[in-house]
Amino acid sequence: MRLIAINIAVLTVSDTRTPDNDVSGKLLSDRVRSTGHRLGAHMLVKDDIHHVRARLCQWIIDEGIDAVIVNGGTGLTGRDGTPEAVKVLLDKEIEGFGELFRQLSYAEIGTSTIASRALAGVANGTFIFCIPGSPSACELAWDQLISLQLNSDTRPCNLVQLIPRLKEK
């Protein structure tokens, strides 16, 4: 079977990263392109619930964006608000994503993985993946989870095959 290329946007949530030092955003953008998908956009926003929601709302109504990968803001500090920003936008949550991310992460960082609030879901027919902002977490999430589920060749099932049906009523 031939890979079905989709449009993926990357959003880095950070108060400290800039386009020059956004290592995780660049890593994800490069991985998206190297696997045959199209990079629909790559942006940075402040670690602020309203900034995150505003950007995501623009992308989830954009017919040209099939999936969004949000990196950063998933921790436990007072500034970390990505899960709170995203959950209210989701039509459906993909509970297994966060569970599996933490299981895979445990092999690398042990019990420190409990501080990760990685999550995924669907909003207006757009897949949204929220992952920690460290380069190693982004690499793990893309290489071992996201890229496989956004690959139309993954069997027995994958998320790409669901895209045409996400807006069914």
CB 163 within 8 Å of CB 6: yes
pLDDT (0 to 100) of residue 93 = 97
* Domain residue limits at 57: 23-89+97-160
**pTM of the shown model:** 0.96
CATH of the domain at 152: 3.40.980.10
Q: How many whole angstroms separate alpha carbon 148 and alpha carbon 18?
A: 29
The verdict on residue 13 lying in a domain is no
pLDDT (0 to 100) of residue 1 = 55
pLDDT (0 to 100) of residue 142 = 98
Q: How many whole angstroms separate alpha carbon 20 and alpha carbon 36?
A: 24
The verdict on residue 166 lying in a domain is no
Q: Across-strand partners of 127?
A: 67, 122
Which residues in the chain come in under a pLDDT of 70? 1
Q: Across-strand partners of 67?
A: 8, 127
pLDDT (0 to 100) of residue 49 = 96
User: To which residue do tokens 């609030």 refer?
Assistant: 117
User: For the chain, how many structural domains are there in total?
Assistant: 1
